[in-house]
Chains A and B, each alone.
Chain A
Amino acid sequence: MNAYEKLKTARQSGRPTSAAYIKQIFTDAIELHGDRRYGDDPAILSGIAYLGDTPVTYIGIEKGVDLQDRMKRHFGCPEPEGYRKALRLMKQAEKFSRPVICFVDTLGAYCGDEAEERGQGQAIAENIMEMSGLRTPVISVVIGEGGSGGALALATADRVYMLENAVYSVISPEGCASIIWKDSGMVEQAAECLHITARDMQHFGVAETIIKEDPKHFDKMCAALKKQLERDVDYLSSLSHDMLVDGRYKRFRKFGIYNEEEV
């Protein structure tokens, strides 16, 4: 599959959404609502559950299943309240030393006028900054689309996994095509140029792990994902908080390809 085919696969309706992963991987999940400031964003599902024997905080961007559900959730484009709910639960997780598991699946943060009024940029900025210093393990799994800042706001993590056909991008290939070629029909070329596939993410160090997909055996795939999560949660939990935060700092510090002249 080329980048464009992956993009289409990642967006395919009928592809499992965060809710399906949460149900399959965790037990005794209790959903927790609201940002305690303004409202409760249905585009983000969050709560506490068991990963094996370990209580964890889960946060997932939910695109919804049928049309009505998808509309209610803005097709998985979170509002500022969603990001603030996520941050509230991450801080709560930090307080109780619970690992945080995020599922990322979004075209991007919601682009409504009210989202701007309520500080979409500020909400994302705060999440990214606070996650960088969070004193508890964070693992993010990109299950479908990782759409720019709206995805990074739940993926400033110690480990990032990509599902085999998931994509991660600085801008939607449609947006890129219309800016570069003034032609939204050039999506395929844009997807290629942007390097958005799971392999690309591994190459650039954006993701550590690729999870093989098996649409016919969702339960088996989730079992493998769960195993990987348990392994990494165990390891990251064994580190001191200082080591953990320091490691996360270094993880993001390394990004950047440039020329450096000697001075």
Chain B
Amino acid sequence: MDNILHKVKKKIDDVTVSPEETVECPGCKTTQQKLKVLKNNMVCPDCGHHFRMSARTRIEFITDKNSFKELFDNLSSIDFLEFPKYKEKLETAQKNTGEKEAVVCGTARIGGIKCALFVMDPRFIMASMGSVVGEKITRTFEYAEKKRLPVVGFTASGGARMQEGVTSLMQMAKVSAAVKKHSKDCNLYITVLTDPTTGGVTASFAMQGDIILAEPKALVGFAGRRVVEQTIGKKLPDDFQSAEFLLKHGFVDAIVPRSEMVKTLSTLLKMHVKG
């Protein structure tokens, strides 16, 4: 399912979409015009399914026109453990996405208010977190702390990147320490959990926002569904680890549909502008 979704997304997310092209919505299984979906914030006009989004498309949707300035895009990954198939995986991801790594960072304005921004890209090795993802996000928080800027972060991740071994695990602590430092100075951090946010990213900066928002139906959890099913020996309900499940259990502040995202972020940022 994930794979199918992934492929569908990869295509639809292309900026050059002709009006004839169609796509099957994973939500309601109807055939949709790609262009229509794209113009509708990548949300199915019939059922409201939120398609996965590339980091660049999301930045375009969220930030004020021409306000985004990219930072730290000079970092790229090394296969320092010579881990099986990692090099090929990196090359394929780079080729398919046009990105160097799984997160895009920078500064931008949202509703006229300047903020630091990081957006994870689930097309890039499922936005798993290795050295570069951890370093770029850490630098974003350090930059924001220095400039006293709020941070808005869109999370999506399969978790820590095992191909970099324990160094990936340590990124969780590195980023968390930077979040803490940024926070101690009374700076705002908003996370937006998008599909899918799991593993070590859920167990670190995704859950550390002052305000935690989520997109409808986004999968958010720590352990994978299959692992949980194996552990408890029974099937889990469909809504397990959905954004709605987290809201019910008290772990997100609000579910915000994409059509409301800019407005919600703008208002929240405005409410925290320091006098």
Interface residues, chain A, CB within 8 Å of chain B? 109-113, 115-122, 124-126, 128-130, 132-133, 148-149, 152-153, 156, 168-171, 175-176, 179-181, 189, 193-196, 200-201, 204, 206, 248-249, 252-253, 255-263
Contacts and interface: CB of A to CB of B under 8 A. Distances in A.
B165 A148 contact: no
A148 B179 contact: no
Contact of A132 (B171, B177, B220, B223): B177
A257 B205 contact: no
B221 A121 contact: yes
A193 B84 contact: yes
Which of A111, A128, A153, A194 counts the most B-chain CB atoms under 10 A from its CB? A128
Contacts of A128: 172-173, 176, 203-204
B81 A193 contact: yes
B81 A195 contact: yes
Interface of B is mostly: helix
Interface of A is mostly: helix
Q: Categorize the interface residue count of chain B.
A: 35 or more
A249 B177 contact: yes
Contact of A156 (B164, B173, B206, B241): B173
B203 A124 contact: yes
Contact of B78 (A168, A194, A259): A259
Given A152-B170, A152-B173, 8 more contacts: A113-B228, A117-B245, A121-B222, A128-B172, A128-B204, A169-B165, A193-B84, A258-B75
Contacts of B83: 193
Q: Which 4 A-B pairs have the closest CB atoms?
A: A121-B202, A132-B177, A121-B222, A255-B170
Which of A113, A121, A149, A194 counts the most B-chain CB atoms under 10 A from its CB? A121
Contacts of B107: none
Interface in B117-132: 131-132
Contacts of B220: 121
A257 B165 CA distance: 11
B15 interface: no
B143 to A, nearest CB: 14
Interface in B125-181: 131-132, 134-135, 138, 160-162, 164-174, 176-181
Which of A118, A201, A248, A258 counts the most B-chain CB atoms under 10 A from its CB? A258
Nearest to B131: A256
A221 B177 CA distance: 33
A248 B241 CA distance: 33
B223 A111 contact: yes
Interface string B177-205: 11111001000000000000001101111
